[in-house]
Amino acid sequence: MTLQPEPANADWAPFGRPLFDDPGTRALSRVGVVDVGSNSVRLVVFDGAARSPAYFYNEKIMCGLGVGLAETGRLNPRGRERALNALIRFARVADGMDLPPLSVVATAAVRDASDGPDFCAEVADKAGLKIQVITGEEEARFSAQGVLLGWPGAYGLVCDIGGASMELAEIADGRVGRCVTSDLGPLKLRDAKGGAKGRRAHIKQVMEQLKANMGPQRDRLFLVGGSWRAIAKIDMARRGYPLAVLHEYRMTAKSVRDTLRFAKGRDLEELRALAGVSAARIALVPYALEVLTRLVRTFKPKDIAISSYGIREGLLYEQMPQRLRDRDPLIEACRFAENKDARLPGFGKTLNQFINPLFKSAKSSQKRLIKAACLLHDVSWRAHPDYRAEVCFDNATRANMGGLKHSERVFLGLALLYRYSNKRSGSRFDKLAGLLDEKRLKQAEILGKAMRFGAMLWPQNDTPLATLRLYPKKKLLELTLSAAARPLFADVAEARFLSLAAALGCDTKIRYEKAHSGK
């Protein structure tokens, strides 16, 4: 491959031409959704029209609309007042952002309460917002679509737990299948009659009914909802897990049992401090743990993944054209970041083509990460030079991007760290090193140093500049420089080339093309 500017008709395979600036998707560049739940009311404004959009604005208010619903059949009066005030505020915030009309949905509490219709009418009158009260099956579908926004190829069982209900949906081949709803929400279980024994019997009975409706679900279990995320945070604390990112955090049936034992008998305030969640949320965790334990025992999933994407992301997914849904969320997000923040938008693709000969035998999943790294290689240039390496690492490991396992986040972060630093010793990476094996550590170093060298040969006009070629059996790295590239291959560029060769364990050979006479 040759390091040169991108022609207008360049091949974009396998990811396709970027869609974030396409007229058909620009309408999604700023979308606001509101989720009126049994426990909380949240406004999220998505930005970017990318396949993995950024959270431009995110505000949650714990209202407790569903507190006491099982006993009274009505919305909690104090919760209703708080929710109304929150929705009035959200409407004003949206007006200030000049957003299109907000998409507002309400779930189990408003759906089940006898005064739910009256609450919706009051919201329409005082906040000017029209609430769509969705069924339990619709709630399951939206949550499953949220998971698909983060994992386009996901398959398995999605479980969304709210305050007053729990939904299940199956996903496969990018589509949502069967959906069911139940009353296994922690707020309802807390108010259930019969004490702990009666509650556990009820959970078991309902779970068996859900299994009968859904059939065998032995693939991955995706957990959506605040109570599941709180449990994941406790599991992280119990394990001393080094990466505090909930999305794509993995658990097993054994870790669920271990966390149940860990939490039992502990003071809720202690658990709240460990998990870093609100008092209202932690109060529901013991009931959610009972549900999760029975859920895992009943369906026996092969593994468990936490999804930070749920009903709100599902509402955005609902508005996406299919051609955008089909895109890789990681690549689209990286393209958007490059276009917005890089000094030379579009060079990431050229850089990727230049270094590809080093990774001919890489699997498609690895080439995807290489592509993402090249797109992100220059988006943190505004950081102080002394801190660019760590800023790049932090951005990659903690950024809100879908389609990334935790190990892939760390790999991407380490490669970008090497893009700006020849060494990683003393960096923040050290505590995350255990998430990668030695082979992956070396691959990240090679990728980073390849980008570090390639960035020195910026394109000029339409003139081909340089070509890399790797001979693994000969342990030789060959660089061919055009006449136009010779002035660019000065001391620093040469040092970076030699550093790349050392990482590959190769000798080097440099070839120079002759200048064209123009005759």
CATH value at residue 334: 1.10.3210.10
Q: Are residues 188 and 291 in the same domain?
A: yes
**DSSP helix/strand/coil, 252:** coil
Whether 209 is covered by a domain: the verdict is: yes
Q: What is the pLDDT of residues 480-493, one digit of tens each?
A: 998 888 888 999 99
Enclosing domain of residue 181:
137-313
**DSSP helix/strand/coil, 362:** coil
Secondary structure of 185-212 in the HEC alphabet? CHHHHHCCCCHHHHHHHHHHHHHHHHHH
CA atoms within 13 A on the CB side of 310: 31
Task: Report the C-alpha gap between 222 and 235 in whole angstroms.
Answer: 16
According to DSSP, the residues that pair with 179 across neighbouring strands are 169
Task: Return the DSSP state at 101.
Answer: P
pLDDT score for 463: 55
Q: Are residues 302 and 162 in the same domain?
A: yes
Sign for the CA dihedral angle at 437, 396, 15, 9 comes to negative
Asked if residues 313 and 149 have their Cβ atoms less than 8 Å apart, the reply is: yes
Whether 35 is covered by a domain: the verdict is: yes
Task: Report the C-alpha gap between 385 and 391 in whole angstroms.
Answer: 10
Low-confidence ranges of the chain (pLDDT < 50): 1-9, 19-20, 461-462, 519
Q: Are residues 245 and 373 in the same domain?
A: no
Of 410, 430, 461, which residue is a domain's last?
A: 461
Q: Residue holding tokens 């999804």?
A: 307
Q: Which two tokens stand for residue 83?
A: 């929710």
Task: Report the C-alpha gap between 66 and 109 in whole angstroms.
Answer: 5
CATH number, domain with residue 119: 3.30.420.40
Measured torsion, CA atoms of residues 100, 111, 202, 282, in degrees rounded to the nearest 10: 50
pLDDT score for 3: 47
Whether 505 is covered by a domain: the verdict is: no
Q: Are residues 216 and 104 in the same domain?
A: no
Task: Report the C-alpha gap between 223 and 235 in whole angstroms.
Answer: 14
Task: Report the C-alpha gap between 241 and 476 in whole angstroms.
Answer: 40
**DSSP helix/strand/coil, 67:** coil
Task: Report the C-alpha gap between 225 and 147 in whole angstroms.
Answer: 11
**DSSP helix/strand/coil, 175:** strand
Whether 439 is covered by a domain: the verdict is: yes
| Closest CA relative to residue 17, chosen from 395, 319, 343, 339 | 339
Q: Are residues 368 and 437 in the same domain?
A: yes
Q: Is the pTM of this model over 0.85?
A: yes
Asked if residues 479 and 468 have their Cβ atoms less than 8 Å apart, the reply is: yes
Q: Are residues 236 and 194 in the same domain?
A: yes
Q: Which two tokens stand for residue 323?
A: 């051609």
Task: Report the C-alpha gap between 81 and 91 in whole angstroms.
Answer: 16
Of 102, 133, 164, which residue is a domain's last?
A: 133
Judged by phi (left if over 0) then psi (alpha if -120 to 50, else beta), residue 16 lies in left
Amino acid identity of residue 411, one-letter, is F
pLDDT score for 519: 43
Whether 496 is covered by a domain: the verdict is: no
Which strands form 103-106's sheet, in the order they lie side by side?
54-62, 40-47, 30-36, 103-106, 131-133
Q: Are residues 356 and 409 in the same domain?
A: yes
Of 313, 341, 366, which residue is a domain's last?
A: 313
pLDDT score for 2: 45
Q: Are residues 149 and 114 in the same domain?
A: no
Task: Report the C-alpha gap between 514 and 519 in whole angstroms.
Answer: 14
pLDDT score for 431: 86
Q: Are residues 403 and 456 in the same domain?
A: yes
Structural domain total, the chain: 3
Q: Are residues 91 and 123 in the same domain?
A: yes
